[in-house]
Amino acid sequence: MKYTAHVDSFVRENLPAPELLPEFIFETPELQFPERLNAAAALLDKPVAEGAGERPAVIGKDIRWTYRDLQCHVNRLAHVLTEDMGLVPGNRVLLRGANTPWFAAGWLAVWKAGGVVVGSMPLLRAKELKQFIRLARVTHALCEASLMEELELARAECPELTHVLAFGESAFDERLSGKPIDFTAVDTAAEDPALIAFTSGTTGVPKGCIHFHRDVLAQCEVVCGYWLKPEPDDVFIGTPPLAFTFGLGGLLCFPLWARAATVLLEKLTPPVLIQAIEQYRATICFTSPTGYRQMSGLASQYDIGSLRKCVSAGEALPVDTRTKWRAATGIQIHDGIGGTEMIHIYVASGPEDYREGALGRFLPGYRGMIVDDLMRPVPVGETGKLAVKGPTGCRYLADERQKSFVQDGWNITGDAYHQDGDGYLYYHSRVDDLIVTSGYNVSGPEVEEVLLEHPAVAECGVIGTPDPDRGQVIKAFVVLRPGYGGGEEMVKSLQDFVKQKAAPYKYPRVVAFLEALPRTETGKLQRFKLKQL
């Protein structure tokens, strides 16, 4: 049997069968990982051992930790987990909190102790927490004191959850201060699970994506080493929750990998984020397309001259948003598509290789193709589904849906694209969201792109609704900018605008006005909710 440090083998036993796994490829020198690897040792102990101990690591509201401070806190917390809470390697630990230094310390402490992190976001309620606890057989939880209520409700129905500790209150600080500041990381195998990231999609039971210690490092090598290229003096900031792998990479793993600093603040709405960029002199920002869109209108009021690089992911980045942000800041956005199943970004473009309208190309380490429903590659220029493989990939925890995400060793992400002759990939939409109207294929994001250029439009979402004559008709939900009113005239103006700028069959036959669009905590438009309206 292969080496493992896990004493509790639940996750290993619930991995997909070998024949259902995607193929993993490690083509470059940086992706040759040793057999034993602990993500927290690599991202935290190594920098300290190599002299970065006094450098700034984590910045929060009223907190400034160096790498050595962070290591002390993580080590003490690892002692609490193993000694006071009986954690053994392989146990699942639910982490519940907003993006704060202590929440980040929780991730690293669990990894050091050999546990498997199940991240959860502050807005989740007892219903979702219960699902996570049951599916991942969670035994331990670290929860921000102010967020205990929903966890207690869930716990009442989950006997498997035996140890819960609240952090962010004085009892926690006292308990920690009694622990030694050294802790030797558990000697985990590179292939021991490190996290289970739940993704709910739009409907149904959440799917738990298992990622190994190796995967945590692989995302750093690919996204940072080959694409973003951060440096030790960088200061990262942004909005995605650490429980969303976009945030886990961008706001915790990447900064540590680069020996840079990360600013972790909660409730960063776009106006608060842009103010924080100024205040903390941040240099690298991670947020969603709507974040950049909203901030571009505010940029002139702040001194954000420290900013060097901006990463957008989670949803399609409209050209209009890219243009507005560039006009406001001079920065060409790094757009990348990633996913919970793949852990982070695998197709992307940077300022130097951006091609108008294209999402980008496969990052080094990944390869792929656009295929039809029978997994046959489609010709250049034709729309199909993306199939991708690389150093990371989909491993659902005990879930039948593995069979549809992974086919013939390829990860099928569910997104429709076409590719040009130079390997640039153009994103259309989720395959399920493609609109078929009178025989034409239209994607919601391409109509949104056009509408966003209209001066009255702040935000919009475009979907197909059933129609007896046309199969589906295009329906736009529009949030207007302050000072504009929705009415017959506005509807006509928007429709004419689309007809003028795009093929006329793409214009929205139905237009509705909303105060705000329904979004997930990760910033994604909830198209299914628009369909129900």
Binding footprint of ligand 3UK on the chain (CB under 6 A): 199, 245-246, 313-317, 335-340, 344-345, 359, 413-415, 427, 430, 522
* C-alpha span between 239 and 288 (Å, rounded): 8
Cβ closest to ligand 3UK, residue 200 vs residue 306: 200
> H or E segment at 477?
strand 471-480
Cβ closest to ligand 3UK, residue 151 vs residue 209: 209
Residue type, 86: G
Q: Do the strands 384-389 and 406-407 form a parallel or antiparallel pair, or are they unpaired?
A: unpaired
CA 17 remoteness from chain centre:
26
Cβ closest to ligand 3UK, residue 133 vs residue 347: 347
Least gap, CB of 161 to ligand 3UK (angstroms)? 25
Least gap, CB of 335 to ligand 3UK (angstroms)? 5
Cβ closest to ligand 3UK, residue 337 vs residue 490: 337
Count of all residues that appear for the chain in the document: 533
Strand partners, 118: 94, 196
Place of tokens 């962010």: 168
Least gap, CB of 211 to ligand 3UK (angstroms)? 11
Report whether 350 contacts 340 (CB < 8 A): no
Cβ closest to ligand 3UK, residue 242 vs residue 494: 242
**Nearest Cα to 341, choosing from 227, 206, 210?**
210
445 CB-contact burial (10 Å; exposed 0-12 / middle 13-18 / buried 19+) = buried
Report whether 502 contacts 319 (CB < 8 A): no
Least gap, CB of 317 to ligand 3UK (angstroms)? 6
Least gap, CB of 263 to ligand 3UK (angstroms)? 19
**In 3-state terms, what secondary structure has residue 2?**
coil
Residue 230 phi, psi dihedral angles, 5° rounding: -70, 160
Least gap, CB of 246 to ligand 3UK (angstroms)? 4
Least gap, CB of 315 to ligand 3UK (angstroms)? 5
Residue type, 132: F
Least gap, CB of 222 to ligand 3UK (angstroms)? 11
Q: Which two tokens stand for residue 479?
A: 């949030």
Least gap, CB of 21 to ligand 3UK (angstroms)? 18
**Nearest Cα to 284, choosing from 224, 366, 352?**
224
Q: Which two tokens stand for residue 204?
A: 């149904």
The DSSP code for 269 is: -
The DSSP code for 49 is: I
Cβ closest to ligand 3UK, residue 74 vs residue 412: 412
Angle at 355 between CA 354 and CA 358, to 5 degrees: 105
Going through 18-103 in order, the beta strands assigned E by DSSP cover 56-60, 63-66, 92-96
The DSSP code for 179 is: S
CA 120 remoteness from chain centre:
13
Cβ closest to ligand 3UK, residue 103 vs residue 497: 103
Distances (CA, A) of 21 to 46, 322, 408: 31, 36, 9
Least gap, CB of 219 to ligand 3UK (angstroms)? 8
Cβ closest to ligand 3UK, residue 294 vs residue 340: 340
Helices (H), 373-443: 402-405
Helices (H) and strands (E) in the chain, counts: 18, 25
The DSSP code for 73 is: H
* Residue nearest ligand 3UK, CB atom distance: 338
Residue 416 gets the label, from left (phi > 0), alpha (psi -120 to 50) or beta, of beta
Least gap, CB of 340 to ligand 3UK (angstroms)? 3
Cβ closest to ligand 3UK, residue 402 vs residue 413: 413
Least gap, CB of 104 to ligand 3UK (angstroms)? 17
Cβ closest to ligand 3UK, residue 290 vs residue 495: 290
Q: Residue 512 CB: number of other CB atoms within 10 A?
A: 14
* C-alpha span between 403 and 252 (Å, rounded): 31
* C-alpha span between 106 and 87 (Å, rounded): 13
Least gap, CB of 295 to ligand 3UK (angstroms)? 17
